């Protein structure tokens, strides 16, 4: 452990301050995503039929598989934290690499979904196409279906960018583990807090985006 800053009583005090700072950052993240979840709630209240019809356009199984992939990455992340606490460098490297790999798997599946949406003209904008057959006899119209896809791309895009940032942080920790001295356990713990937060965001995104279309 590095030297304790003079404003702290001891090393535990310093670690607790770092944890608190990370949690405060996560609070601001909750409010960032919270605003978008609010936009989703307001528009879904207004256009329930359109949101259901648009949601049926998403691949439920790809969404479910990605949920399992992300939960798996949270497991490897917490095991990496445990390995860092126990100062087991080999295990730390393996679990960090596994977490990055699972994150990459998630993003790979996500980008395949995005490509499919471009192919089907479901990306909001001038090329958006919504046929009456898509509505399946409900009151869904192109304008409000497009609102669903705006929220889909903004929410999943913001989530994916958080994952990319998280993977870069984990990559730095992995390189530190493999080359120089093992990173402080606290660094792995704080990176883990961020990673698990991103997992929690997806836990709510999955049902709200993929599952609401089956029964309104």
5, 8, 32, 85: residue in contact with other proteins (rule CB under 8 A): 85
Q: Write down the least CB distance from residue 35 to other proteins, Å.
A: 7
42 binds other proteins (CB under 8 A): yes
72 binds other proteins (CB under 8 A): yes
Q: Write down the least CB distance from residue 127 to other proteins, Å.
A: 30
Which residues have a Cβ under 8 Å from the Cβ of 153 and sit 6 or more positions away? 114, 117, 123, 124
184 binds other proteins (CB under 8 A): no
Residue that the structure tokens 């990370």 belong to: 22
4, 11, 26, 49: residue in contact with other proteins (rule CB under 8 A): 26
> Is residue 160 within 8 Å of residue 114, measured between CB atoms?
no
d(CA 24, CA 191): 14
Q: Which is nearer to other proteins, 139 or 214 (CB)?
A: 214
Stretch that binds other proteins, among 117-125, 140-148, 161-169, 198-206 (CB under 8 A): 198-206
Alpha-carbon torsion, ordered 50, 29, 200, 151, to 10 deg: 10
d(CA 200, CA 212): 18
71 binds other proteins (CB under 8 A): yes
1 binds other proteins (CB under 8 A): no
Q: What's the token pair of residue 110?
A: 């996500």
d(CA 161, CA 147): 21
DSSP string, 41-97: HHHHHH-HHHHHHHHTTS-HHHHHHHHHHHHHHHHHHHHHHHHHHTT-HHHHHHHHH
Tell me the site size for other proteins, rule CB under 8 A: 49
79, 92, 123, 135: residue in contact with other proteins (rule CB under 8 A): 79
Q: Which residues bind other proteins (CB under 8 A)?
A: 16, 19-20, 23-24, 26-27, 30-31, 34-35, 37-38, 41-42, 45-46, 60, 64, 67-68, 71-72, 74-75, 77-79, 81-82, 85-86, 189, 192-193, 196-197, 199-200, 203-204, 206-208, 211-212, 214-216
């Amino acid at each position: 452990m590095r030297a304790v800053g003079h404003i702290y009583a001891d090393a535990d005090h310093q670690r607790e301050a770092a944890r608190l700072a990370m949690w405060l950052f996560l609070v601001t993240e909750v409010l960032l995503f919270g605003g978008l979840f609010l936009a989703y709630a307001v528009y879904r209240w207004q256009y329930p039929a359109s949101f259901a019809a648009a949601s049926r356009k998403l691949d439920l199984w790809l969404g479910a598989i990605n949920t399992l992939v992300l939960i798996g990455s949270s497991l490897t992340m917490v095991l990496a934290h445990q390995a860092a606490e126990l100062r087991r460098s080999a295990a730390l490297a393996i679990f960090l690499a596994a977490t990055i790999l699972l994150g990459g798997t998630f993003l790979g599946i996500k980008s395949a979904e995005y490509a499919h949406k471009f192919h089907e003209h479901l990306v909001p904008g001038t090329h958006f196409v919504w046929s009456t057959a898509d509505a399946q006899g409900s009151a869904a119209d192109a304008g409000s279906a497009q609102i669903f896809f705006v929220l889909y791309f903004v929410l999943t895009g913001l989530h994916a960018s958080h994952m990319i940032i998280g993977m870069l942080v984990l990559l730095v920790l992995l390189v530190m583990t493999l080359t120089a001295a093992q990173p402080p356990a606290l660094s792995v713990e704080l990176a883990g807090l961020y990673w698990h937060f991103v997992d929690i965001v997806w836990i709510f995104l999955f049902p709200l985006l993929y599952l609401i279309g089956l029964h309104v």
